[in-house]
Amino acid sequence: MDNPIKIAVDAMGGENSPKKIIKGIEIHSSISKNIFYNIFGNKNIIAPIIRETNINKNFYSITHTENFIKDEDSPLAAAKKGRDTSMWLSIESLKKMESDAIVSAGNTGALFVIAKLNLNMIEKIDKPALSALWPNKIGMNIVLDLGANIECSEKNLIDFSLMGAALHKSLFENEDSKVALLNIGSEEMKGNNIIKNTYQKLNENKNPLFEFKGYIEGNHIMDGDVNVIVTDGFTGNIALKTAEGTANFITSELKYAFNSSFIGKISGLLNISNLKKFKKKLDPRLYNGAILLGLDKPVIKSHGSTDEIGFANSLKVCEKIIKGSLIDKIKKNII
């Protein structure tokens, strides 16, 4: 292979691992070329699974370790667990320049702590931010921070705007990045002092990477008028969980409505095509792959409960941000 993209994969993190991880690699490798997977985990478990797949043996390596981070481990306990865990070794491979990015479906807090212990922050970035894809009416939003920082300064929110726009540009290179601050109103004087001061600075200091569109309220997140939404981790996490809960509620209620009576079943059959489109639009697996922005190497967090399809999508996100030169975009545009 000519200069393949090398993705480090923590094979032991999350539910139903390593089986779903290996199956996710199989799906991703069938649609993406010139990718090499550095897999970290228990070879005695992984090898029999991988032999049952169509993954080319020239496109992966397995680094054996029987130690791994459990979902119930605290971040501190995980960091103390040793440097031979699958998560630590996969992140360390970035530090050693053996991989270009890392994907893990394991313990989120542990991933953040171990990543910060092994990797450097991008110069002039004070705090990392957790970002993710979020569907809107016409495409996709990048939303950050989603929980890495409970409290944020004006500098942090400005940095998040830049990093979110850089991520958006890496994933959707043909779209213009439009940034908005999540707030309790759209008027200029709404919000706390940090939000208002951030608004003023973003409005006065234009960045070539994005267009600043002012404030956005929670009920307009999915309108599609902006595509990078910035907030602190406390607010962002609540907004994300609320959206996920609402989506699950709507889909479950629709399913019940179309299965609870004869007329409902007939209506469901008549609208099956539209229902499939609706279900696909709200399928969280298609948006799987949160990115920890601010570190000098790409760190991608797959949802722990996702299946192989979701994990394959997190690998696709990883591939896109490497090809889109995410880290370089941030470095070139940081103030």
pLDDT in tens, 202-242: 999 888 899 999 999 998 998 999 999 999 999 988 988 88
The closest alpha carbon to 301, from 281, 283, 317, belongs to: 317
Q: What is the CATH number of the domain that holds 139?
A: 3.40.718.10
Q: Are 4 and 34 in contact (CB under 8 A)?
A: yes
Burial (0-12, 13-18, 19+ Cβ within 10 Å), 218: middle
User: Which residue segment(s) compose the domain that 10 sits in?
Assistant: 1-125+294-335
Same structural domain for residues 168 and 216? Answer: yes
Same structural domain for residues 84 and 157? Answer: no
The pLDDT value recorded for residue 291 is: 92
- DSSP conformational letter for 289: -
Q: How far apart are CA 79 and CA 116, in angstroms?
A: 11
Chain segment 22-75, per-residue pLDDT in tens: 999 999 999 999 999 999 999 999 999 999 999 999 999 999 999 999 888 888
Same structural domain for residues 120 and 143? Answer: no
The pTM score is 0.86
Same structural domain for residues 118 and 245? Answer: no
Residue 224 region by backbone torsions, left for phi larger than 0, else alpha for psi between -120 and 50, else beta? left
Please name the residue ranges forming H helices in the chain: 19-31, 43-51, 75-80, 86-95, 108-118, 154-171, 193-204, 233-259, 262-270, 272-281, 308-323, 326-333
Same structural domain for residues 76 and 103? Answer: yes
Q: What total of structural domains would you count in the chain?
A: 2
258 pLDDT higher than 90: no
The token duo for 72 is 């119930």
Count Cβ atoms below 10 Å from residue 169 Cβ, excluding itself. Answer: 22
Same structural domain for residues 143 and 280? Answer: yes
Same structural domain for residues 13 and 92? Answer: yes
Same structural domain for residues 276 and 185? Answer: yes
Same structural domain for residues 15 and 89? Answer: yes
